[in-house]
Structures are given as C-alpha cells and as structure tokens.
Chain A
Amino acid sequence: MLIKSPHDIPSDEITPEKIYLSRRQFMGAAGLFAAGSAVAQPAEKKLPSPPSSPSKTGNELEYLRSHAKSPAGFYTAEKQTPYKHATTYNNFYEFGTGKGDPARYAHEFNPSPWSVRIEGEAQHTGTYTLEDILKPHSLQERIYRLRCVEAWSMVIPWIGFPLGDLLRRFEPNSRAKYVHFTTVHAPKSMRGQRAIFGSIPWPYVEGLRMDEAMHPLTIMVVGMYGKIVPVQNGAPLRLIVPWKYGFKSIKSIVKIRFTEHRPQTTWERSAPREYGFYANVNPQVDHPRWSQASERRLPSSLFSPNRIPTQLFNGYAEQVASLYKGMDLRKFF
C-alpha cells in the first residue's frame, strides 16, 4: 500500500486555504502568544521535557498527517466538513448562544499572551506559558467525527497532541483521579460572559476521569485544517474527546487541575437531568427532550437532510468501550 508523503497530497485536498505550517513558523506564533506573558506572570516555571521528545528538522512539516494507516480511530475517510462551516457554525456560549455569534465576535477576544495554570494533585504545578506547554510536543493531525449533543455532527481535521503526553509531564500523584479544566473568563472581551440575563455560571468548567484523559484518542488541539485554531473554535488551546458530546471538548483552556473527586461540570450544574458528567455519545440514551438515535451530518442541504444513524461512542467503541466496562451507561450518561 502506498502511503502518500505529505508532499504528494494536493493542497486543496483539505481546504483551499490550507497553510502548511512549519514547526518553526508555529513556534514563532506560539512565541508571539508567550511574548507578553513573561512580564504578566512572574511565577512561570520551566517544565521538564518528556524523555522521548522526537527531534525534527526545520524542513519537515509541522504536523504528522493522519491517513488510512494511522492507528485505529486517528483517521476517517468520511467527507470533511468545509473549513468555512466548521469555523462559522459554533457553540461557544462565551460569545453568545447563536451559532454565528462566536465567529462574529471572535475578533473582540485576543488569545495572546496565553498561559495555563496547573493545580492540584501533581508534582509540578504553577503557571506556564503557552510556549512552555507546547514546546516538547510534536503536532499530529487527527481526523475525527464531532457529535454535538444537539444531534448534528461534523468531520474535522484537528492538529494537536495527546493530552496524556502533556499531563504526564506534571507527574500527577496517586490521588489524581480526575482532571478538571477551566475556560478563560474574560467578560470584557467575551460578550456572552457579560450577558445580564444569563443562566450559565462562568467560567465554563469541564472534567475527565484520569483514564479518559490519558486515552490516546484524547488530544489537546492547537490547530485545524492545517492552521492555528481560530478563536471561535477555542484558541489557543482546546480539548477534543471524540467519543463524547462536543460540550465536553472544552475551549480556550486556562487552568488544569488534578483532583481526587469528580468535578461538577458547567452543563451538569445548569441542567443535571439533561447533561451528565460522562456525556458519551450513545444512540440508546436520549436527551430528555430529543432523540440521540440519529444525527444530521453537516453541511446538509434543503433537499437532503443528511441524517445518519448515531454510533455508540461516536464510532470509537472499539477504542474506548473498555473504559466503561460494567458501567450502566443509562445511569452514568
């Protein structure tokens, strides 16, 4: 079987606007993000690099392309959602509840400089610049299905690295049973957070069980479609957990906390009957107000709703079902 080298792939295969970022270019951008933060955050620390940080030469592409021979689950040949739609049809209530609001108001928010605070049950805690967070990780592409709890889905080529690789660098201790994530709280530049009449408590928080966080399918994302991830999609650093409903994949992360106890997530808090901690994609467990048995793969058109059956664990059952062995998925929804 021929494995295409990245140079053989026509540049319009993913998106006409595709930009091949070299590692150097990307780190330059990350450096820009980090530039001001050294002043703003005097407590930043240097992290130990993982033992096997693959070395790269400057000419290589920034990220490893995903393809049919990638490990199971890392790639899908399904038709990708056009970049235009994936970046203009978003749920990011920090910018408003309309699907177009995040793209419309993203310019009001500046994701640089950026730093992430690490807290809780780990050897290394403190505040780290985005550059420090990203430095040792080589980027790779993952083409994942994204299933929203609202019963629509997309296929998106993300660029990032395994969350587990990042978490291991902080050396979580034996009490670290859960990972708790927090989105930036910036009401001055995120208009959804300053809505007078709001039902969502900010900042947005999410969490994973340690084994879910360490699973190779769980990634930290910094890019999509070959580009740096846009603000409306969660710049500069977001999570992707492809077998869970989209709201688990928290955006614009500023804090990661290792905890012994299960965190209460934002949606769990606002509607505990409707959104659970696990939020695994499951066609058999309906949302109390609508069915989860099928989904509309976007883009759809007026005369073809593009409705397809939803798969257990969003089609990643082979990789993740063992995490939930013996659990009642109706109870732990």
Chain B
Amino acid sequence: MWIKPFIFTLSLLPLAEVLWRLVNDNLGPDPARTLALETGIWGLYFLLMTLAVTPLRRLSGWSPINRIRRMLGLFSLFYASCHLFIYLAFILVWNFAEFATELAERPYILAGFTAWVLMLPLGITSTHGMIKRLGKKWKKLHRTIYFIAPIVILHFVWLSKTIERPALYGILLAVLLLFRLLPTTGKSVWALITHRVSKHFH
C-alpha cells in the first residue's frame, strides 16, 4: 500500500529541512538552539497527529488511517530523541553534572526529560511481537500517552516567555483527549449523522 511509504517520506521532511539549513550554514547565530527548537516542536506535532488518528477514524469511519498511527507515534519519539540529543550534545556538551543540576533546578527540563523517558517503553513495545506478547497490558501501557502528552505541554509552557503557542497546542491536545470520553458506538460519527438525517427525511 502506498500510504505507509508516503507518510514515512513526508515525516522525514522536517529533519531534511534542518539538515539542509545546517549544511548551508543557515541556522542563524544560535544553531544549537534552532535545531533543538525545530526537533522539539516536531516531536510535539507528531504526538498530536498520533493522538488525532482515533478521533479522525471515528469521525470519518475511514479505518485504514489506523495503519499509520504507530509510524506517527514512532516519529514523535524519534524527533523527541533528536531534541534531547541536541540539547545534551550541543548545548550541554555532554556535561552530565550540569545536566543533573538542570534537572534539579529547571522544572521545564525535568518535565521534558520525564516525558521522553516515559515515551521510551511505548516505542520499544510498538512491534507486532510485543503487541501479541503483552496482550491486554499493551493497551493499558499505551494509554499512558494520555498522561505523557500533558507533561510535554507543561515542558513547552515552562520554557516559553509567552503563553500563546503552548496554550494553542494545549487546547488542541485537550480537544483530542476529551474526544475519547465520547461514548463509542462502533459507528463513525459521520455514519450516525447521515443515519439520523436519512431517518428524518423518510
């Protein structure tokens, strides 16, 4: 099926873009910060996209969309890992004593790192084999993303000078999470609406 390689290629574009800017010396006067910001924000975008899959499927009834959910989730972890690597390698220059101080004194660093650590097991258990092996526990484990995502937003809020952007993504996340509280019927919302409407006219 074309959809997976297509989404995979698209998902690599943000990385390609920053690498292109890197080789062209076009990351501005603070390249480490630019790289950290770009990869961090893409980690969040992919997280939101991952969490949008279920609502979109239920709204549209188009179930093949489920097939890209794992890939989107893994790209979220991938960009978050790049983000952490850039911070450790180019901002702290592998000074782990300083990393410890930052974790202890900067709540936004602690929140970001916690979110990354909690996402790791989700990435590791994303294979078919793991899904089979963990059975019912798999779903429980992967539902922890509902708690991890708000921590990511908190990380963004605490590092920002103004609230606008983190608040925007926070609201988006809230909408995506609240959607899960709607009763599941097995039918798409679209199907329900058209069903109602057709009943009304007959």
Contact = CB atoms under 8 A, between A and B. Distances in A.
Do A and B bind? yes
Interface in A259-283: 270
Interface stretch (A93-101, A133-141, A227-235): A93-101
Contact of A298 (B22, B30, B161, B164): B30
Contacts of A270: 162
B12 interface: no
Contacts of A17: none
A298 B29 contact: yes
B31 A302 contact: yes
A198 B164 contact: yes
B106 A289 contact: yes
Interface string A30-43: 00000000000000
B31 A85 contact: no
A289 B29 contact: no
Contacts of B164: 97, 195, 197-199
Contacts of B35: 302
Contacts of A81: 29
Contacts of B167: 197
Contacts of A199: 162-164
Majority-rule SS of A interface residues? loop
B32 interface: yes
A152 interface: yes
Contacts of A301: 31
Interface string A135-173: 000000000000000101010000000000000000000
A99 B163 CA distance: 16
A20 interface: no
Interface in B143-192: 158-159, 161-165, 167-168
B30 A152 contact: yes
Nearest to B35: A302
Nearest to A197: B164
Q: How large is the interface on A (under 10, 10 to 19, 20 to 34, 35 or more residues)?
A: 20 to 34
B90 A289 contact: no
A41 B180 CA distance: 59
B91 interface: yes
B158 A289 contact: yes
A198 B22 CA distance: 32
Contacts of A89: 28-30
A100 B28 contact: yes
A154 B158 CA distance: 25
Interface string B128-154: 000000000000000000000000000
- Minimum-distance CB pairs A-B, first 5: A85-B29, A299-B29, A298-B29, A89-B29, A199-B163
Interface of A: 81-82, 85, 88-89, 93, 97, 99-100, 150, 152, 154, 195, 197-200, 270, 289-291, 296, 298-303, 305
Interface of B: 22, 28-33, 35, 90-91, 93, 105-108, 158-159, 161-165, 167-168
18 contacts: A85-B28, A85-B29, A89-B29, A89-B30, A152-B30, A152-B33, A154-B29, A195-B164, A199-B164, A270-B162, A289-B106, A289-B107, A290-B106, A298-B29, A298-B30, A300-B31, A302-B31, A305-B91
